[in-house]
Amino acid sequence: MVERRSILKPDGTIVPGSKPRMDEEFLLEALRLMMLSRAYDERVIGLQRQGRFGVYSPGLGQEASIVGSAMSLDPSRDWIVPQYRELMAVVRQGYPLELITATYMGKTTPDTRIPEGVNVLPTQVALAAQLPQATGLAWGLKLQGKDAVVMAYIGEGGSSEGDFHEALNLAGVQRAPIVFFMQNNQWAISTPRRMQSAVPSFSLRAAGYGFPGVEVDGNDVLAVYDVAVEAVERARAGEGPSLVEAVTYRMGFHNTTDNPSRYLDPAEFEEAKQRDPIQRVIKYLTAIGLWDDERQKTADQEVAAEIERVVEAAQAQRGVRPEMLFDNVYERPPARVERQRAEFLKSVNGH
Ligand SMILES: Cc1ncc(C[n+]2csc(CCOP(=O)(O)OP(=O)(O)O)c2C)c(N)n1
Ligand SMILES: [Mg+2]
C-alpha cells in the first residue's frame, strides 16, 4: 500500500500532527484562484454553447491539484509545461487570462501569443507529447547552469503513452530538474482508471526510473502544495526528477464535446462531490475565523467582475486576418509569395 499524503480532510479539519507549509495568506490566494477557475469554467461553457468559444476542458473538481502544484513554483524562473486542463496553473505563472480566452475565441494572432518572459509552453492535446519536450527543457536549463525547475503536467490516461516512458527515463538518467505532475482524475474521456493500468498507484512507476514517486490527495490544496514544494526543492538542489500522482476526480464532462451520462455512474459522481476541493478550504478557513458569508459574497463579486473584464478584453482583441497565412514564413518573402499574397488579398477584399 502506498501512503496517500493528506493534510486537509474533506470535513475541513486538519489531519492531527500535520503542519502545512502554506501560510494563511497563500491559502487565501489559492482559494481565490480556485474560485476563479470554477467560475470561469461555468462562464465559458456558456459561451461555448452559444458558439462563441472553442472546445474546452474544465478543471472542475481538480482545482486544488492544479492551483496547489503551480503555487510551488517561482514564475520568474520556473517553467510550466501543460497538458490541456491546467488553466489556472498557467495563469498563476503569468499568462494573462484574457489572452488565453482570446485564443479560445479563435483569435490566434501575434497579439495573443504567450508573452515574452512568461515561462509557459503551449497547451498540448497529443497525449504525452509534451513530456519529452519538458525533459529537454529541464535538461537544457540545467546545462545552462540555471536553478530553474520545470513542472510538467500529464493525465493518468496520457501516462499510457510511450512518450511518458521515454521522458521519465531520460529525465532520470540526466537528473533533470523536473517534476512530473500527474493528475489522476479517474477518467480518460470514458476510459476508467482501472482500464488504464494494473499498477495500484501510478506513483510506483517512478521507481522504474530511479527517482521518487509520491501519491497525494489531489483535492487537498495544502497537501498538494507541500508535496509539490518538496519535489521542486529536490529538483532545484540538483537531486533530479520526481513523480507526483495527485488523486482527484473529474467532476464534470471531459470537454465540451463529451456526454458523460452515457458512461458515468451517478452514485459515484454524487460521492465525489462530497470531496469538493473548494468547499473543504472554505470549511477550514471558516473554522479558523478567516471566512464568513460576507467574505464569500465579496469574493464571488470580485471573481465575477474579473471574468467579465477578461471576456470583454478577449472580445476586443483583433481577430485573425486571412493574410496572416503568409506572415512569419519568410523573413524576406520571395516575389512569388508577395504576388500570391497580393492576389489573395484582392480575392478576399473583392477588388
Ligand atoms: C495520442 C493521443 N491519443 C488519443 C487522444 C484522444 N484523447 C484526448 S484526451 C484523451 C483522454 C486523456 O486522459 P488523461 O490523460 O487522463 O487526461 P484528462 O483528460 O483526464 O485530464 C484522449 C484519449 C489524443 N489527444 N492524443
Ligand atoms: Mg484523466
CATH number at residue 76: 3.40.50.970
Q: Which of 56, 66, 189, 255 to mutate to test the pocket of ligand 1 (most atoms within 8 A of CB)?
A: 189
The grid coordinates listed for 220 are 487537498
Ligand 1 center from residue 126 Cα (angstroms): 7
In this structure, the answer to whether residues 341 and 196 fall within a common structural domain is no
pTM beyond 0.85, yes or no: yes
HSE of 89, CA atoms in CB hemisphere, 13 A: 34
303 with 329, same domain: the answer is no
C-alpha grid cell for residue 342? 497580393
Q: Distance (Å, rounded) from C-alpha 44 to C-alpha 31? A: 20
126 pocket-lining for ligand 1 (C-beta < 6 Å): yes
Please provide the DSSP assignment of 288-312 as one string: TTS--HHHHHHHHHHHHHHHHHHHH
Pick the residue whose CA is nearest to atom 4 on ligand 1. Answer: 127
Is there a single domain that holds both residue 294 and residue 342? no
- What cell was used for 128? 504525452
- Residue 323 pLDDT: 82
Low-confidence ranges of the chain (pLDDT < 50): none
- Which ligand number lies closest to the CA of residue 255? 1
Number of domain units in the chain: 2
Specify whether 162 is located in the same domain as 268: yes
Confidence (pLDDT) at 351: 58
Q: Is the CB of 41 under 6 A from ligand 1?
A: no
Question: Domain check: are 348 and 217 in the same one?
Answer: no
From the CA of 184, give the closest atom in ligand 1.
Answer: 16
256 & 341 share domain: no
Q: Which atom of ligand 1 is nearest to the CA of 156?
A: 16
- Residue 125 structural domain: 4-320
Cβ atoms of 272 and 61 within 8 Å: the answer is yes
Domain identity same for 296 and 346:
no
Q: How far is the CA of 131 from the centre of ligand 2 (A)?
A: 16
pLDDT tens for residues 216-233? Answer: 999 999 999 999 999 999
Assess whether 64 and 163 both reside in one domain: yes
Name the residue with cell 490544496: 221
227 with 339, same domain? no
Catalytically active residues, by annotation: 250, 254, 263
φ, ψ of residue 154 to 5 degrees: the values are -155, 150
Asked whether residue 328 falls in the same domain as residue 283, the answer is: no
127 CA → ligand 1 middle, Å: 5
Q: What is the C-alpha to C-alpha distance for residues 199 and 254, in angstroms, rounded to an integer? A: 23
Query: Are 56 and 144 contained in the same domain?
Result: yes
Q: Are residues 88 and 212 in the same domain?
A: yes
